[in-house]
Amino acid sequence: QAYKQLGQLDSAMINYQRSMEFVNKYNESTWRGINSVFIAEIYFLRKDYETAKRLIHDEYKVKYTDQPNFSAYGLRLLARIDLAQGRYDSALLHINQALQLLRNHNSFPLLKANYLELAYQTAADVHRVFDHTDSFYHYSSLYATLHDSLERVATRSHTKMARLRIENARNYQTIHEIRRQKEAEEQKRNLIIA
């Protein structure tokens, strides 16, 4: 996923395929579905929509009750594919299913918030195509609010990490100074003894 975010799609695909080897070895159906959605996303980004749809429809076996976040993510991806292919009614159906899944559970709240942000953005795009002005502005507003909230959380996290690094550097300097003083005292003691 990190490689995908960096735009290194080939590296992302290699690592997803390596993950899929473990999935197949241990017969993990849930992770097979999750990996299939992420691999489908790579094909979507490469504009190979048919392969992406096939992976989601044929390989994606994550039950809605087991992994609602990933199920919603897969449905949102289907909505994006439908939009790209001009299948607007299907896009509306898929994004509504994704939103319903995300709203009806509370597991992994940060992951849910990230996927909900993407779903709101896609919902706004779908409603723009239908010229549903009120719905477009509603989902755009929800997206903007959630996006800003997640950005604030990320900023606080970065600030906290910076503070921890500064504190770590201070601790390192303090330890280094204590060692230097201890060595100086040992040298002084050894000179006195000599």
Say what the pLDDT of residue 152 is.
Answer: 79
pLDDT, residue 169, reads 78
Q: In which residue ranges of the chain is pLDDT below 50?
A: none
**The predicted structure's pLDDT at residue 194:** 77
For position 85, what pLDDT does the model report? 95
pLDDT at 61: 58
pLDDT in tens, 94-151: 999 999 999 888 878 777 888 999 999 999 999 999 999 999 999 999 989 988 887 8
For residue 176, the model assigns a pLDDT of 83
Q: Would you state the pLDDT for residue 14? A: 93
Flag whether the pTM goes above 0.75.
no
CA dist list (Å): 95 to 7, 137, 156, 168: 25, 16, 31, 46
